[in-house]
Chains A and B, each alone.
Chain A
């Protein structure tokens, strides 16, 4: 497919080294006009550095780029934008306290007066099916709407090349649909798109060509439609991936029972839980699906003990635990891993040793006479690092310094290695690359095989079907009746999720 298109951007022999790491080494690829080109790779493979060089944020050490045959060497983003290269960032480029029009204006070279700009934003947003009100404060928008702001900011400058850095990591499935429709429309109009992701199924459905990076080098180029997700994953990782194996253990007695649990959401614009009931037996994995914002976070809070309820609403090994706080629940045998890594699951500025103590202190007995037993805590942190292959210079590094995937491995290890009877995890592999995700899923199954009751809350249906014994869906704060996961089809799951449930439900606001 690529051969039929005139070439838009060619990257040749690009090398970029930072002190201690070579981010990109001799990278060469080309993008045709109107082509949707994927840049694939694990975390730290050098995708972000590569696109930052194309966008003029970083200068390459060696190599050259050509745009429509002319030498292309942007020294700053403004120059890249002038030459028709626009970029939608994964995060960090919107201003919450400014409104949509102001945010758009900041990303433009010569923005028109605000009133004209607002009219233009309306026009473009309607043309591409991305409804957006220019006068709204960005801080009040959902993740999907924020992304529209970024996209429209780019579109207003008529880009020839649109760079998208992991655009779907924050979107609901419905929003992903809308985004893909927009991208296909752009591609049909001749705008090339450089699409960075490690979600292989998306790339298969969307992209015309893919360049796969590993450790900063191009290891393959392929046409995604002709490859299986597994083949691409193995190219990315550089080794054969193991499908998690399930050790079928005998299901024991009920380890976690939740009955008629209703709690108000403490989160602004959150969803309250309404009459949630389920049980999880020893050795069982319950998968809970649902579009983000339907009560997942609240359910985790209610199970971990951060949100209290009536004593009998939550029972751990048939002891009433609904009125216990997180520490008492850990002592009673329930550990929980929240979704947000930087700030909820981990204290970002504290070291891995300190973070290991924060949740494992109770169960692993890491205190001595009221003082922290640092040697024992360090040993535990080192055990996690070894067992979960966490790539870090050492246990004394701040949590913030680890990449998302590595920190997630550490945090999963921290909870899974405490020998708890009940384990609750929200989004176990969010933003984690394929190899690490497979490893995390395997350890979840291993713990279940050893007799733990596990609740996995996730938006990744494939993941849930891979690990779950039973399956339920959270929808507007209500949980469907759990069903055996074996033999469930995507259609049935779709119906459980509310069928053609509108996008509005995802941003459901409780009065």
Chain B
């Protein structure tokens, strides 16, 4: 059942896990951008979440508390962004970039002394009896809880954004803050909450890297995952299920190219390493091509600060 030395069942099972950090961060950023805020600090929030999650998990011995810690750490960092952009009306692009650099620096400082420590393991959620079933077992039942949680969040966010009043208000604020304000919605407060949610999601995604994927602490552990998450949000046209597709595509090709390297493929390593980035972006560009302006779903007020002047 192996194809070219690669087992497709294992491949699919692995890609689902490897996509979790990007998926979580991209889902959070989707909500943030739908509310009209462009937070380029995803990478920073992820890496701080990775450290926060790692520290708490090691201290308490509980990986679940670790993920909560990662979420809190990411949300706290995002609140700095929220304070600067929503209260002091700083430029969102510059603030977001600064947040990433700040997050990388802070995590590097705070992570001193955590190198080489093993975090408590996060095991598979369901009993072996299910996970050992042929084919469907590894793909559907063999994962840890975060994999299911990330898929559940995709469904929840899709439902919230599409059908609920809360989602409608978030979309409205991102579409036209003047109009939302005129109708009496607290634009900056709604955006602040979305930013904090985005930070928490990015932090959990980061914690998944340090607690499950690697699993140990090294400086700059996220290695650009936050940037890929940002790109996926745009090319997924700000739609949760497309974000999932984008994240799985990237995760899948990352795993595939690693397997190909191991299997001794004739394609040079450099090309294999760049493949996930290239192919993800090409596929998502094709998916969102041909639609311009309103049709591609970009929130109209994206990146603009709002000040209730009158």
* Interface residues of A, Cβ cutoff 8 Å to B: 49, 52, 56-58, 76-78, 81, 89, 92-98, 102, 105-107, 111, 114, 137, 139
Contacts and interface: CB of A to CB of B under 8 A. Distances in A.
Closest 10 pairs (CB-CB, A-B):
A77-B184, A92-B178, A95-B175, A93-B179, A93-B182, A78-B184, A76-B184, A97-B175, A92-B179, A95-B172
A95 B184 contact: no
A106 B179 CA distance: 10
B172 A92 contact: no
A89 B168 contact: no
Contact of B176 (A49, A52, A92): A92
Given A57-B184, A76-B184, A106-B168, A95 B294 contact: no
Given A93-B179, A98-B171, 15 more contacts: A52-B310, A56-B184, A77-B183, A77-B184, A92-B182, A93-B178, A95-B176, A96-B175, A96-B176, A97-B171, A97-B300, A102-B172, A106-B168, A106-B180, A106-B183
B291 interface: no
B253 to A, nearest CB: 32
Interface of B: 163, 165, 168-169, 171-172, 175-176, 178-180, 182-185, 294, 297, 299-300, 310
A114 B175 CA distance: 20
Given A97-B294, A139-B294, A57 B182 contact: yes
A57 B183 CA distance: 9
Given A56-B184, A89-B182, A93-B183, A98 B172 contact: yes
Contacts of A57: 182, 184
Contact of B168 (A49, A96, A98): A98
A137 B171 CA distance: 14
B125 to A, nearest CB: 35
A89 B180 CA distance: 12
Nearest to A49: B310
Given A57-B184, A76-B184, A107-B183, A96 B294 contact: yes
Contacts of B165: 105, 111
A66 to B, nearest CB: 22
A340 to B, nearest CB: 18
A430 B165 CA distance: 38
Contacts of A49: 310
Q: Give the residue among B169, B172, B180 with the most A Cβ atoms within 10 A.
A: B172
Contacts of A77: 182-184
Nearest to A110: B165
B298 to A, nearest CB: 9
A106 B169 contact: yes
A114 B163 CA distance: 9
Nearest to A92: B178
A423 B60 CA distance: 79
Contacts of B310: 49, 52, 58
Contacts of B171: 95, 97-98
Of B163, B169, B182, B310, the most chain A CB neighbours within 10 A belong to: B182
A342 to B, nearest CB: 14
A95 B170 CA distance: 12
Contacts of B178: 92-93
A471 B294 CA distance: 40
A237 to B, nearest CB: 24
Contact of A96 (B182, B183, B185, B300): B300
Contact of B179 (A81, A95, A102): A95
Contacts of B172: 95, 98, 102, 106
Contacts of B299: 97
A147 to B, nearest CB: 14
A76 B189 CA distance: 15
